[in-house]
């Protein structure tokens, strides 16, 4: 018996040393405020689960990474060392989107595993995250697949941005379908962020952060409460379709999703677990991102922009022919200067061709225009097709600098593979070296690039106002869904500011004379609610000039925020937020097609007296949505104000301290 027992012990020791047997073990990680628990189980695979206030919102879900060379990180793991730390710091945002000072408070668990990899887990008060880190002997590895599955705690309600392209090509501009998790079949996939609501009303938002040199994560349904991970493979060959300058056909792909360094950290897989108000306040993606790498940032100037493309350059009441020409853009500059807007954008059409960004079109005297803009202290941003810029980025951006341009709007990327992720960073870095701002369109969601390169001011990746030109899907319901879904990931270039506003039955999609559903006050409130350090005024300058009171009000709302306080909200129904910039506070409220009254306590104010200027729906806004009222009255801390909104309406206020 003794010999047999000794033999068994020796066999177990040998198996343990070869890594063919693992010892099951659980690790528990708790958030600083004890509301979130992360349970990590190490058996034949590493799994994690997440609990909030006793409710399991994520059941044990596997995580692993498979390399082409055969290694399977996270499978049959052997934990050699575990370590923990607690962090309580404050991040100062270079370009503050929600908050200038961001508390970075979390507890972390690191599992160092045999085979040269580490898995990091973090627990925040509003969620959790994990990432892989490798320290492999190979200088270069090829990742075949990463398992980042999510087994939710039940058949949750979900806002699902349905996609269909088998190559994961997308402008990331789907609407968010309100459905259930079990209704998403195995052939259906969506992009991040994804928002779920548990049976108890807990909000669970899945996204990712610190994404570099690696493809975007997409999630497929299974007809159950589980989602499975998928990634675009590395593109080896592609070509443009027909005579298109931007629509790609992928003709050859690799068998791997990334070829990358063997010594690196991989993207954070993030799970924000909170309530509706918590979604409006979270900074998790920003906190998990790589810190600012730019030594000089004083030149980065956020601001508002007079934008041409939405309104089709339809200026009128002028003595020149409107279009993509010098006179029209001088008119934009005059408008911007009159209302203190920092920039204008020259969108598609300004250049000799979309494939030639080195020369303006024949109707545009760019040198004269730049001189005129400088005299008016208005910056100019130029549009660029991504693949044209990609072919000769240094030469093109150098030319932009010679012209005196302040930034570049890069468009139609429509991919989320490794090359495109690297392209985003190359653009950000090359632009920063020349002190140029960046606005990314046709883009996937923010993943923290705007923290590492704060000259990246905004991203599209949203079904925004421009869709009014060809569809009726931009409804007030859609508009009050975005703050709880897409906007949670970061800056959102929705391009608000429609001045032609209609009822549901009065709306028509007219490409060259667009209008919006909902009230004027609904549009104005977007300047407080929607986060974008480069915020557009999308309508015709003429329409703004014809309504100077509304335009004056919009022009006084800043584009960055020192502090954000969520006041009330429910995804798809309504939202109300307070934001501080300098000494002033700003309040915004928006509702879906239901008229709504909210009582807002001014508990966020200090002891000062404030003068509150309000732009709200007029008494007839339900039948004539352009009806609004501007009124002023004194308020003070502790007072409760009534926010009254028509169906499809909005409410905004600027609170200035009485000196």
pLDDT (tens digit per residue) in 112-166: 999 999 999 999 999 999 999 999 999 999 999 999 999 999 999 999 998 989 9
* Spatial contact of 336 and 306, defined as CB atoms under 8 Å apart: yes
Judged against a pLDDT cut of 80, whether residue 14 lies above it is answered with no
Strands 456-459 and 437-440: parallel
303-657, what's its fold? Answer: TIM Barrel (3.20.20)
- At residue 13 the predicted structure's pLDDT band, cuts being 50, 70 and 90, is very low
Q: What kind and span of H or E run contains 631?
A: strand 628-636
pLDDT (tens digit per residue) in 386-416: 999 999 999 999 999 999 999 999 999 999 9
Looking at every residue in the chain, the average pLDDT score rounds to: 96
Q: Quote the pLDDT of residue 659.
A: 83
* Spatial contact of 358 and 398, defined as CB atoms under 8 Å apart: no
Q: Which residues contact 391 (CB under 8 A, 6 or more apart)?
A: none
Strand-pairing partners, residue 411, are: 385
- At residue 8 the predicted structure's pLDDT band, cuts being 50, 70 and 90, is very low
Here the tokens at position 481 are 């869904």
* Spatial contact of 562 and 582, defined as CB atoms under 8 Å apart: yes
Quote the CA–CA distance of 412 and 206 in Å, as a whole number: 25
pLDDT (tens digit per residue) in 533-569: 999 999 999 999 999 999 999 999 999 999 999 999 9
- Computed on alpha carbons and rounded to an integer, the radius of gyration of the chain in Å comes to 26
Closest CA to 266 of 83, 134, 415, 144: 134
Instruction: Identify the sign of the CA torsion 218, 574, 519, 611.
Output: negative
Closest CA to 491 of 522, 464, 515, 516: 464
Higher-confidence residue of 14 and 322: namely: 322
* Spatial contact of 103 and 299, defined as CB atoms under 8 Å apart: no
Please list the alpha-helical segments (H only) found in 91-164. Answer: none
Q: Quote the pLDDT of residue 11.
A: 44
Judged against a pLDDT cut of 90, whether residue 366 lies above it is answered with yes
pLDDT (tens digit per residue) in 419-454: 999 999 999 999 999 999 999 999 999 999 999 999
Q: How far apart are the first and last CA of the chain?
A: 90
Closest CA to 172 of 218, 208, 215: 218
Which of the 8 DSSP states describes residue 480?
T
Q: Quote the pLDDT of residue 12.
A: 44
Q: CA-based angle 598:600:601, to the nearest 5? A: 155
- At residue 19 the predicted structure's pLDDT band, cuts being 50, 70 and 90, is very low
* b (16+ CB within 10 A) / e for 27-49: bebebbeebbbbbbebeebbbbb
For domain 23-287, say whether CATH 2.70.98.10 is its number.
yes
Strands 640-645 and 596-601: antiparallel
The dihedrals phi and psi of 367, each to the nearest 5 degrees, come to -60, -45
Taking every pair of Cα atoms in the chain, the longest distance, rounded to a whole number of angstroms, is: 106
Quote the CA–CA distance of 15 and 113 in Å, as a whole number: 16
Q: Which residues contact 403 (CB under 8 A, 6 or more apart)?
A: 366, 367, 370
Judged against a pLDDT cut of 70, whether residue 16 lies above it is answered with no
Higher-confidence residue of 203 and 4: namely: 203
The pLDDT of 219-236, averaged and rounded, is 98
Residue ranges of domains in the chain: 23-287, 303-657
Q: Quote the pLDDT of residue 1.
A: 40
* Spatial contact of 199 and 156, defined as CB atoms under 8 Å apart: yes
Which of the 8 DSSP states describes residue 484?
G
Quote the CA–CA distance of 162 and 480 in Å, as a whole number: 19
| Count of all residues that appear for the chain in the document | 659
The pLDDT of 82-100, averaged and rounded, is 98
User: Could you give the residue numbers annotated as active site?
Assistant: 411, 466
CA distances from 356 to 1, 248, 426, 484, 614 (A): 84, 18, 20, 39, 47
Which of the 8 DSSP states describes residue 557?
S
Q: Quote the pLDDT of residue 145.
A: 98
Judged against a pLDDT cut of 90, whether residue 18 lies above it is answered with no
Quote the CA–CA distance of 476 and 592 in Å, as a whole number: 5
* Spatial contact of 520 and 577, defined as CB atoms under 8 Å apart: no
């Amino acid at each position: 018996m003794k010999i047999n027992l000794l033999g068994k012990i020796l066999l177990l020791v040998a198996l343990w040393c070869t890594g063919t047997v693992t010892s099951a073990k659980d690790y528990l990680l708790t958030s600083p405020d004890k509301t979130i628990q992360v349970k990590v189980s190490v058996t034949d695979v590493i799994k994690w689960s997440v609990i909030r206030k006793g409710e399991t919102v994520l059941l044990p879900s596997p995580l692993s990474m498979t390399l082409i060379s055969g290694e399977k990180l996270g499978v049959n793991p052997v934990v050699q060392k575990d370590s923990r730390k607690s962090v309580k710091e404050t991040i100062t945002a270079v370009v503050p989107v929600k908050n200038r000072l961001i508390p970075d408070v979390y507890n972390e668990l690191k599992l160092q595993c045999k085979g040269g990899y580490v898995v990091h887990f973090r627990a925040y008060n509003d969620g959790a995250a994990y990432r892989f880190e490798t320290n492999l002997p190979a200088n270069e590895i090829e990742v075949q697949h990463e398992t980042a599955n999510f087994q939710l705690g039940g058949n949750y309600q979900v806002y699902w941005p349905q996609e269909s392209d088998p190559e994961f090509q997308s402008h990331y501009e789907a609407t968010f379908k309100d459905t259930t998790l079990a209704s998403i079949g195995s052939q259906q996939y969506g992009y991040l962020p994804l928002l779920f609501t548990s049976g108890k009303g807990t909000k669970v938002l899945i996204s990712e952060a610190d994404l570099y040199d690696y493809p975007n994560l997409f999630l497929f349904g299974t007809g159950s409460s589980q989602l499975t991970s998928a990634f675009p493979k590395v593109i080896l060959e592609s070509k443009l379709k027909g005579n298109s300058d931007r629509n790609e056909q992928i003709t050859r792909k690799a068998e791997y999703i990334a070829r990358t360094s063997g010594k690196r950290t991989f993207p954070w897989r993030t799970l924000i677990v909170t309530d509706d108000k918590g979604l409006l306040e979270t900074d998790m993606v920003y906190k998990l991102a790589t810190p600012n790498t730019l030594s000089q940032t004083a030149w980065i100037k956020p601001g508002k922009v007079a934008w041409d493309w939405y309104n089709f350059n339809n200026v009128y009441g002028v003595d020149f022919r409107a279009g993509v020409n010098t006179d029209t853009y001088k008119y934009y500059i005059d408008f911007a200067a009159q209302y203190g807007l920092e920039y204008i954008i020259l969108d598609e059409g300004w250049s000799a061709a979309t494939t030639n960004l080195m020369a303006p079109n024949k109707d545009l005297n760019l040198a004269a225009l730049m001189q005129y803009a400088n005299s008016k202290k208005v910056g100019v941003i130029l549009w660029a097709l991504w693949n044209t810029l990609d072919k000769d980025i240094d030469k093109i951006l150098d030319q932009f600098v010679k012209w005196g341009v302040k930034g570049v709007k890069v468009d139609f990327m429509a991919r989320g593979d490794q090359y495109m992720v690297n392209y985003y960073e190359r653009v950000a870095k090359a632009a920063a070296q020349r002190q140029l701002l960046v606005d990314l369109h046709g883009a996937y969601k923010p993943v923290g690039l705007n923290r590492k390169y704060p000259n990246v001011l905004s991203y599209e990746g949203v079904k925004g106002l421009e869709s009014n030109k060809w569809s009726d899907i931009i409804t007030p319901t859609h508009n009050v869904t975005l703050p709880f879904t897409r906007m949670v990931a970061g800056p959102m270039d929705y391009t608000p500011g429609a001045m032609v506003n209609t009822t549901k039955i009065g709306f028509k999609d007219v490409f060259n004379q667009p209008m919006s559903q909902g009230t004027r006050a609904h549009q104005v409130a977007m300047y407080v609610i929607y986060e974008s350090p480069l915020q557009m005024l999308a309508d015709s300058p003429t329409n703004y000039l014809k309504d100077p009171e509304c335009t004056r009000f919009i022009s006084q709302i800043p584009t960055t925020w020192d502090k954000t306080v969520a006041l009330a909200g429910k995804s798809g129904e309504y939202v109300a937020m307070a934001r501080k910039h300098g000494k002033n506070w700003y309040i915004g409220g928006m509702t879906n097609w239901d008229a709504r009254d909210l009582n807002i306590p001014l508990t966020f104010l200090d002891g000062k007296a404030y003068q509150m200027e309000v732009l709200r729906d007029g008494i007839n806004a339900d039948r004539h949505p352009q009806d609004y009222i501007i009124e002023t009255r004194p308020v003070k801390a502790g007072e409760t104000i009534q926010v009254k909104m028509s169906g499809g309406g909005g409410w905004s206020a600027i609170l200035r301290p009485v000196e």
